Structure 1
C-alpha cells in the first residue's frame, strides 16, 4: 500500500505546476530585463508606447500575482502530499519536511545572492516551516483561517495605501491646507519614492562581481520580503493544503463543480482587475495610484482569479489529458524547480552585463518574445528528460540533499 502511495502522481498537480511556472515567467521577465521599479510602476521604465502600455494592462489583469498565487497553492498541496506519503511509509514527517525546507532555504539564498534578486524560494521555505504546524487541520478549518489571515493582510495594506491616497487627494485639491501639502511633499520626496534607478542600471549592466556585490548589500531584502508577503503567502499555502485534502487540486470534484467555481471566481475577479487596471492607466500611471493597486486593491481579485484559474485549468487538463501538449506541460511541472532556476540562469545571462548586456534595452511589449522562447524551451526539454530520468536535475539535487544520500536518477 505504501509503495503505491509513493508511486502515485496527480496529473492535475503536475500540469497546474507547469502552467504556473510558465505563467510566473511572464511577470518575472520584467524584473529580469528592467529596473525594479518597472515591475510595480509601469510609468517609470519599460517604454511608453501603446504596445508597452497594453502589455502592462494585459499582464496586470490576467497574470500579475495569479500565477504566483497558483504556485503557492500548489506548494501547500505538495507539502501536504509529501507529509502524507512520509507518514504512509512510516517516516518522521517533521524530519522529512524540515529537511526539505532547510535545503530550499539555502537554494533560495544562493539564488538570490548569486543569480537573481527576485527569488521566491527563501520565502516559501520560511512560510513552509510555519504552514507545517497546520498539517493536521481539516480542510474547512484551514480555509477559514487562511481567509482570516488574508483578510487581515488586505486590511493592513488598505489602511496604509488608502490613507496615502486620501492624503494625495487632499493635498492636490485647490486651496489645500499648507500643512497637508507639506506632509504629502515630504512623503513623495523620501528615498522610498525615489524613481532614480541609475545605480541599479549601472550595476546590472556591469560585471558579475558588481552584481553579486549589490545582492550582498541588499541581502536584508530576503527578510523584508517575508514581512511583506507573509499574510498573502501563508494563507495561499493553507488553502493549497485544504484543496489537496478536499480533492479540489487533485481533480476529484465533479466537472460541474469546477465550472461553477470557475464562474464564481473568475467573473468578479476579472471585472475588478480590469477596473483597477483602467484606473491606473487613466491616472497616467501615477505612482501612488499604481502602488496602491499593486500592493493593496488587487489582493482580493488576485485571490479570486487564482482559485478560478485553478478550477478552469483542471477542467482543461482533464479534457485534454491525453494530448501531447498537456503531456509536455505536465513534464514541465514535474521539473518546475529546474525550470524556475534554469529560467533565472538563462534570463540573467541574457540581460545582465556579464552576458548579452540587454538590461534596460528592451521595451515591455518586446519582452514577450523572450517569454515565448523560454516557454518553448521548457516544453521541449522537460518531457524527453523525464522519459530517461526520474527527476529534473535540480529536483534530484534537492531530493538527494534533503534525504542525505544520492537518489537514483536514471530510469
Structure 2
C-alpha cells in the first residue's frame, strides 16, 4: 500500500494556522540576528540601542515573542509525529523507516541553511530532538503530559538557579566590565564581517557563531523536548472540549504571561543585580513554554468561535508552506543585510527590524495564498516530502482552488 503525505481534506486547519502564526513570531525574533549581532548585544549589561522606542520594542519582543514561538513549533512537531505514526498504522505501513528519512532530509536542509545562509537554524535541532520522539510517541497520554511538565519545570529551575547564583555571588558584577569589552569587540567584528566581508568570510563567521550558539546542545534539547511531548499528548488526546481549553488557557495565562511579567518589572535593574537576569531566565524557559500553550489555546478557541476567520485564513496559507517560508525568510533577510546584498548589517535597531519583518511576512502571506491556489504544497515542502517518501509528489493542481 502506498503511503502518501496528508491531503487537503485530511489537514487540520487550526494546526496550519498555528504554523503560520509561529512562522511570523519566529521571524520577529530572528530579525534581530539577521540585521545585527544580537547575541553579544543581548549579553551586554546595558542597552546597545538605547533610544526609548528601541528599548521598549525589545521589552515587548521579550514579553510577547521571545521563546514563545520556537516552543510552539516544537509542540506542532510533536503533534505531527503522532499523526504520522497513526496514519502509517491505519494504512498498515512501516512508520520508522519513513520517519528516519524525513529527519535525515530535515537535517540536510538544516546543514545547508547554516552553511549558506544563517547560523540561527533550528532545523538541525528539530531533526535530532525528533529522533528522541521515537522513544516517546508510543507512550500513553498521562506519561507524556507528566513528563513534559516535570522536565520543563526542572530544566527551568536549573537554568534560573545557575543565573541567580552567578549574579547573587557578585561574579557577574566583578567581571562585568571585562565581559562588556569582549562583547563589544565581538559586535565590531561581526559588523565588519557581515557588512563588508566576502561570502567565504561570512560563511566562516556563520559556522563559528553556530558553534557558539549550540555549545550547550543538551540544554537546548531539554528545553525543547517538553513541548514535543505536549504536542504528542495533544495529538493522542485529540479532542478537547471548550471548557477544558478554557481551564488550560486560564492556567497558562497565569504561568506564561505571569512568569514573563517579572522580567518587565525588573527591567530597570538590568546589569545592576540578580533580579532582572534571574527573572529573564525563568521567563524565557518556563514562561516561554507556558506562553506558547496559552497562545495555542487562544488560537483554537478563537478558531472555534468563528472570529478572526479572514485573518486566520491568511495565516493558514503561510502555515501550509511554513517550511518554505521559514527558509526564504533567511534568504531574503541575509541578502538585504549582508555584504553580498545591501550591506546594512548592524545599522538598524529593533524597531526597524520589526517593521522590516512585517513587510517580509506580508509579502509571504500574499505569495503563499497565490501559490497554494495553484499547487498542493510549498516548493520546499515538495522537495522534503518527495525525498522522504522516495517518489516524486504531485505538486500542481489541475484546476485553480477557490479556497
2:82 paired residue number: 80
Residues 188 and 240 (structure 1), Cα distance of their counterparts in 2 relative to 1, 3 Å cut? farther
1:178 paired residue number: none
Residues 13-46 of structure 1: per-residue CA shift (max 9 Å, x gap): 1111111111111111111111133663476565
Describe the SS at the equivalent of 1:28.
helix
Residues 220 and 47 (structure 1), Cα distance of their counterparts in 2 relative to 1, 3 Å cut? closer
Residues 236 and 35 (structure 1), Cα distance of their counterparts in 2 relative to 1, 3 Å cut? same
1:381 paired residue number: 367
The yes-or-no answer on 1:220 pairing with 2:184 is no
Q: Report deviation, 1:242.
A: 0.5
**The one of 104, 108, 111 aligned to 1:109:** 111
Residues 42-80 of structure 1: per-residue CA shift (max 9 Å, x gap): 765651111011101111111111111111101110111
Q: Report deviation, 1:258.
A: 2.0
1:410 paired residue number: 396
Residues 168, 274 of structure 2: 8 Å contact kept: no
Describe the SS at the equivalent of 1:365.
helix
Q: Report deviation, 1:287.
A: 9.1
Q: Report deviation, 1:155.
A: 3.0
Distance in 1 of aligned mates of 2:208 and 2:294: 40
Residues 34 and 331 (structure 1), Cα distance of their counterparts in 2 relative to 1, 3 Å cut? same
2:127 paired residue number: 125
CA RMSD across the alignment: 2.7
**The one of 185, 193, 199 aligned to 2:174:** 185
Gapped regions of structure 2 (runs ≥ 5):
398-403
The yes-or-no answer on 1:53 pairing with 2:55 is yes
Q: How does 1:1-400 map to 2 (within 5 A)?
A: 6-7=6-7, 8-37=10-39, 40-41=42-43, 47-168=49-170, 185=174, 189=178, 194-196=183-185, 197-205=187-195, 206-218=197-209, 220-221=211-212, 223-224=214-215, 226-247=217-238, 252-279=239-266, 281-286=267-272, 291-320=277-306, 323-400=309-386
Distance in 2 of aligned mates of 1:297 and 1:350: 32
When the two structures are superposed, what TM-score results if normalisation uses the length of structure 1? 0.88
Residues 47, 55 of structure 2: 8 Å contact kept: no
Residues 364-404 of structure 1: per-residue CA shift (max 9 Å, x gap): 11212101102211211112211211110110111111122
Residues 41, 290 of structure 1: 8 Å contact kept: no
Distance in 2 of aligned mates of 1:236 and 1:352: 33
Count of aligned positions: 393
Distance in 1 of aligned mates of 2:5 and 2:32: 40
